[in-house]
């Protein structure tokens, strides 16, 4: 756990980079520090490993004042990843990664074996990349080596200063996903500096939004986006914060609609009658084993039985099954996927809904109206500090609406 208590840093030329900061990063938590250039993010981070000393205030690591810890000992407990990576150009990727364990006294063979495991962990096959030199890697691959090296001493704390800043947006998103996957199992205590609000909300359990030298808001991504604490924070997170919120709000089974369900092998007439009796314009189609197949329009079924199904005897029904009229729909999401993915799937498939399934089990469908409701409910829930399921949109006012 890292705790800042009234920390101020003034540089000798009089620049006050950080002004009376107090906040805490819990054990296993990833906190992103986000703000414009020059607002004091890097200074904050460098005070944690004593590359910069505070002018006043104190910083505690697991309850221990770091000013009393020898800086070399301190840095062994703290991994540090920076944008420029800083690999040794004359050492192979494997040796670069093995440097720290070797310095810590592991025999060379053991240090290299550990380095190979770490390269594997960050998605670089050691047999392919281990013997290369840094200039034989892409920017994204170098960043991965930087992360592997920072993890080499297995420090409980990681400081990451724009670690994915130097790569293109596609590679960056890939690295972010990989890092989130790693972090979900390693659960390091992480301070992550970025000037990119998208990156901050994607990665952070909580975000510190920096103004000049001060934290304007320190809260979960959803709350910062849904209820910015100050006009500055609102401007910084952007006018499209509603859209950004889609990426931090998960699909919840309570948001789903339940159109009628028919099976691929159901007779057309029976399916048509079912839809007509429920007044439903379409139905979800499942395979015989219950896994999702797609959908079928009521009009396609009633067309097949030669007119509106209601009132027609089954003797007039054609043979045929739903299979001949069903349309495949490949867009589906697991529960917990971000609403942004749901909207993207709907747009990409030009569909007014997306199926949500847990493995092979169909849970229901999300429509644009359901998505809007989910977003409103989650904003209201955060504003009222209630679980989302307990929010009724009629009784709880929507923040900012
Ligand atoms: N060694 C130094 N001496 C004097 N001023 C400094 C020094 N290092 C940083 N500063 C100043 O302190 C302020 C905060 O700098 P810092 O690097 O912490 O900002 P930052 O938010 O990380 O910016 P960026 O996103 O551009 O890296 C800036 O005004 C900067 O010019």
Residue 245 domain-assigned (yes or no): no
Last residue of a domain, one of 216, 239, 262: 239
Task: With cut-offs at 50, 70 and 90, classify the pLDDT of residue 342.
Answer: very high
Predicted local distance difference test score (pLDDT) of residue 320: 86
pLDDT tens digits for 6-65? 999 999 998 999 999 999 999 999 999 999 888 999 999 999 999 999 999 999 999 999
Angle formed by the axes of helices 339-348 and 368-384, to 10°?
170
Range of the domain at 319: 253-366
Q: Would you say residue 164 has pLDDT above 60?
A: yes
Q: What share of the chain is helix, strand, coil (3-state, %, to 5)?
A: 40, 25, 35
| Same domain, yes or no: 68 and 197 | yes
Q: Is there a single domain that holds both residue 72 and residue 166?
A: yes
Residue 395: pLDDT band (50, 70, 90) is very low
pLDDT tens by residue, 270-310: 999 999 999 999 999 999 888 889 999 988 888 766 644 44
Residue where a domain terminates, one of 239, 269, 303: 239
Res. 91: pLDDT tops 80: yes
More confident residue, 182 or 216: 216
135-151 pLDDT, tens digit each? 898 888 888 888 888 88
Cβ neighbour number for residue 154 with a 10 Å cutoff: 14
Q: How confident is the model at residue 47, as a pLDDT?
A: 96
> Does residue 186 sit in the same domain as residue 264?
no
231 and 269 both lie in a single domain: no
Complex-level ipTM:
0.94
Answer yes or no: do 324 and 359 share one domain. yes
Please check the confidence at residue 123 and state whether its pLDDT lies above 90: no
Query: For residues 282 and 265, what is the distance between their CA atoms, to the nearest angstrom?
Result: 16
For ligand 1, mutation pick of 7, 33, 39, 212 (most atoms within 8 Å of CB) = 39
Q: Is 71 inside a domain boundary?
A: yes
Identify whether residues 175 and 297 lie together within a single domain.
no
Q: Is 84 in the pocket of ligand 1 (CB under 6 A)?
A: no
Mean pLDDT in the chain? 86
Q: 180, 211, 239 — which closes off a domain?
A: 239
Ligand 1 pocket, residue 42 CB under 6 Å: yes
Answer yes or no: is 244 within a domain: no
| Mean pLDDT in residue range 206-231 | 90
pLDDT of residue 318: 55
Q: Based on the domain organization, do 67 and 174 belong to the same domain?
A: yes
Give me the CATH number covering residue 343.
Answer: 3.10.580.10
User: Are 282 and 174 contained in the same domain?
Assistant: no
The span from the CA of 204 to the CA of 227, in Å, is: 17
In a domain, 382, yes or no: no
DSSP 307: S
Dihedral sign, CA of 84, 88, 91, 97? negative
Residue of 43, 47, 208 to mutate, ligand 1, most atoms within 8 A of C-beta: 43
- 36 closest CA partner among 312, 217, 237, 174: 237
What pLDDT score was predicted for residue 305? 67
Does the beta carbon of 9 sit less than 6 angstroms from any atom of ligand 1? no
* Higher-scoring residue by pLDDT: 160, 387: 160
Question: Has residue 396 got a pLDDT over 50?
Answer: no
Ligand 1: which residue has its CA nearest to atom 11? 17
Question: Does the structure show a pLDDT above 80 at 191?
Answer: yes
Sign, CA dihedral 58-231-382-253, equals negative
Report the CATH number at residue 74: 3.40.50.300
Please tell me the distance from the alpha carbon of residue 340 to that of residue 378, in angstroms, as a whole number. 14
pLDDT for residue 350 is more than 60: yes
Question: Which pLDDT belongs to residue 107?
Answer: 81
Q: What is the pLDDT of residues 72-83, one digit of tens each?
A: 889 888 988 887
Residue 119 lies in a domain: yes
pLDDT band (50, 70, 90) for residue 313: very low
Percent above pLDDT 70 for the chain:
93
pLDDT at site 317: 47
Ligand 1 pocket member 14 (CB < 6 A): no
H-helix or E-strand spanning residue 56 = strand 56-61
Expressed in angstroms and rounded, the spacing between residue 290 Cα and the centre of ligand 1 is: 58
Q: Are residues 200 and 304 in the same domain?
A: no
How far is the centre of ligand 1, averaged over its atoms, from the C-alpha of 245 (Å)? 30
Is 387 a member of any domain?
Answer: no
Give the mutation target among 16, 18, 34, 40 for probing the ligand 1 site: most ligand atoms within 8 A of CB. Answer: 40
pLDDT value for 311: 46
Q: Are residues 6 and 51 in the same domain?
A: yes
Q: Kindly state the tokens that stand for 346.
A: 């709907």
Longest dimension (CA), the chain: 94
Split into its structural domains, the chain has a count of 2
Q: What is the pTM of this model?
A: 0.76
- Is the pLDDT score of 314 beyond 60? no
Count of other CB atoms within 10 angstroms of residue 347: 11
Q: How far is the CA of 149 from the centre of ligand 1 (A)?
A: 26
How far, in Å, from the CA of 241 to the mean position of ligand 1?
27
Place 131 in a pLDDT band, splitting at 50, 70 and 90: very high
Domain-embedded: residue 373: no
Q: Relative to the CA of 9, which ligand 1 atom is closest?
A: 12
| Domain membership flag for residue 246 | no
Q: Are residues 150 and 195 in the same domain?
A: yes
Whether residue 46 has its Cβ less than 6 Å from ligand 1? no
On whether both 95 and 221 belong to a single domain, the answer is yes
């Amino acid at each position: 756990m890292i705790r800042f208590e009234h920390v101020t840093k003034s540089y000798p030329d009089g620049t006050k980079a950080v002004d009376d900061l107090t906040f805490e990063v819990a054990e296993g938590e990833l906190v992103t520090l986000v703000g414009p250039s020059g607002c004091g993010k890097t200074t904050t981070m460098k005070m944690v490993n004593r590359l910069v000393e505070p002018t006043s205030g104190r910083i505690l690591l697991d309850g221990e004042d770091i000013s009393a810890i020898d800086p070399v000992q301190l840095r062994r407990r703290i991994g540090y990843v920076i944008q420029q990576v800083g690999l040794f150009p004359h050492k192979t990727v494997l040796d670069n990664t093995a440097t720290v364990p070797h310095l810590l006294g592991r025999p060379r063979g053991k240090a290299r074996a550990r380095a190979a495991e770490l390269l594997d962990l960050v998605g670089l096959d050691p047999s392919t990349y281990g013997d290369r030199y840094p200039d034989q890697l892409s920017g994204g691959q170098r960043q991965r080596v930087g992360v592997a090296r920072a993890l080499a001493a297995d420090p409980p704390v990681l400081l990451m200063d724009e670690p994915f800043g130097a790569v293109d947006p596609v590679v960056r998103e890939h690295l972010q996903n990989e890092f989130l996957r790693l972090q979900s199992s390693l659960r390091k205590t992480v301070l992550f500096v970025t000037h990119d609000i998208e990156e901050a909300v994607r990665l952070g359990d909580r975000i510190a939004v920096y103004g000049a030298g001060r934290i304007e808001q320190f809260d979960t991504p959803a709350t910062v986006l849904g209820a910015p604490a100050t006009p500055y924070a609102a401007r910084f997170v952007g006018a499209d914060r509603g859209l950004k919120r889609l990426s931090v709000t998960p699909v919840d089974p309570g948001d789903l609609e339940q159109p009628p369900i028919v099976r691929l092998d159901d007779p057309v007439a029976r399916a048509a009658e079912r839809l007509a009796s429920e007044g439903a314009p379409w139905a979800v189609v499942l395979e015989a084993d219950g896994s999702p197949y797609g959908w079928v329009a009521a009009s396609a079924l009633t067309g097949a039985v030669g007119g509106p199904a209601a009132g027609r005897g089954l003797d007039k029904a054609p043979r045929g099954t739903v299979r001949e009229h069903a349309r495949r729909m490949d867009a589906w999401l697991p529960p917990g996927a971000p609403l942004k993915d749901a909207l993207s799937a709907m747009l990409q498939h030009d569909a007014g809904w997306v199926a949500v399934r847990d493995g092979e089990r169909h849970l229901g469908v999300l429509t644009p109206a359901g998505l809007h409701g989910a977003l409103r409910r989650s904003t209201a829930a955060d504003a009222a500090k209630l679980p989302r399921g307990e929010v009724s949109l009629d009784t709880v006012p929507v923040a900012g609406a």
